[in-house]
Amino acid sequence: MDATKLRRAIARTPLAPVAAFPKRLARVVRHDAKVLRTSARWLVTSREHHNYTYELTKLSRHHLAWFVSVVCDVPVKQVRAYFTEIESDDVLRRHIESATAGAARRGLADRQVRYARRIGWYAIVRATKPTHVVETGVDKGLGSCVLAAALLRNAADGQPGRVTSLDINPEAGYLARTAPWSEVVDLVIGDSIASIAALDRPVDLFLHDSDHSRAHEKREFEAVEGRLAPGAILLTDNVTATNVLAEHAERTGRRFLAYRETPANHWYPGDGIGIAW
């Protein structure tokens, strides 16, 4: 009996799982060893303890470009040009590096600048030219800087806008307190639900990235609903954890899509962008 016939014969018997075990074990060990190597390298090279930063894999970047292209109805080439624009903004990159090096929490931050899915936020702002962006959850201010950079480019193209960045932590947003980015950022300290209630002008683009509990995410979308401009776009950073924005989109007659990012060379499984429009 040749090898193929023998394998097929064994596959029909109760011995099949035992015979396949060494191959299955080798696969799992190879996979887990790679994960362990990546995790060990990260433990000794990174200082971050939350809100991790990383690059996207090439494939994940391609998929993000198409995601933004479809959602914003702009050619994918244009989206890729927006990605290149933010990634080659050396003035912003140098500012983030030096502000990180001088920050009080520098011991818990990496100096290397890695935007991950935030290049998608950038492209969405460049493609849709919002007048008023609201970001809940600021942390160091990396996202606020990326949003501000897009708004500054929009202003140079004759379509200015501002971002209101909300955080409960008074130390949040240190990266976004420097001009020119600070000139288009209004940093508001307080609980996001109260801050949303106090917004004094309509919101064109809303991004949830604060308290990632299901209940808080839901409360934010409910709170902002009456403050949205016609045709406003809603984004969530919590789409890999909850279905809150999809449910909100269904209730309010919007469309919904989700993109899941894949970090390159990082143990963290990644977050994503949920969008309702």
**Could you tell me which stretch among 14-22, 63-71, 160-168, 254-262 binds ligand SAM (CB under 6 A)?**
160-168
Other beta carbons less than 10 A from residue 50's beta carbon: 6
Binders of ligand SAM among residues 67 to 106 (CB under 6 A) are none
Closer CB to ligand SAM, 22 or 108, in the complex:
108
Q: How far is the CB of 27 from ligand SAM (least distance, A)?
A: 35
Strands 162-167 and 203-208: unpaired
Mark out the alpha helices in the chain (DSSP H runs): 3-11, 16-45, 58-72, 76-87, 90-102, 118-128, 142-156, 192-197, 214-225, 244-251
User: 52 in the Ramachandran plot: left (φ > 0), alpha (ψ -120 to 50) or beta?
Assistant: beta
Cis peptide before 180 (omega within 30 of 0): yes
Quick check: 166 binds ligand SAM (CB under 6 A)?
yes
Q: Which of residues 211-240 bind ligand SAM (CB under 6 A)?
A: 211
Out of 120, 130, 137, 272, the only residue in the binding site for ligand SAM (CB under 6 A) is 137
200 burial type by CB count under 10 A (0-12 exposed, 13-18 middle, 19+ buried):
exposed
Q: Classify the phi-psi angles of 81: left when phi > 0, otherwise alpha if psi is within -120 to 50, otherwise beta.
A: alpha
**CB nearer to ligand SAM: pick between 241 and 257:** 241
Angle between helices 118-128 and 76-87 (to 10 degrees): 120
Rounded CA-CA distance 70/95 in Å is 32
Specify the residue, 142 or 228, whose C-beta has the smaller distance to ligand SAM: 142
Give the nearer residue to ligand SAM in terms of CB position, either 172 or 232: 172
Do the beta carbons of residue 53 and residue 110 sit within 8 Å?
Answer: yes
271 is a contact residue toward ligand SAM (CB under 6 A): no
If one asks whether residue 172 binds ligand SAM (CB under 6 A), the answer comes out as: yes
The residue among 10 and 52 lying less far from ligand SAM, judged by its C-beta, is 52
Distance in Å, CB of 10 to ligand SAM, minimum: 51
Instruction: Return the number of the residue (172 or 244) whose C-beta is nearest ligand SAM.
Output: 172
Site string for ligand SAM, 174-213 (x = CB under 6 A): -----------------xx----------------xxx--
Within 30-59, which residues bind ligand SAM (CB under 6 A)?
51
Footprint of ligand SAM on this chain (CB under 6 A)?
A: 51, 118, 135-139, 142-143, 166-169, 172, 191-192, 209-211
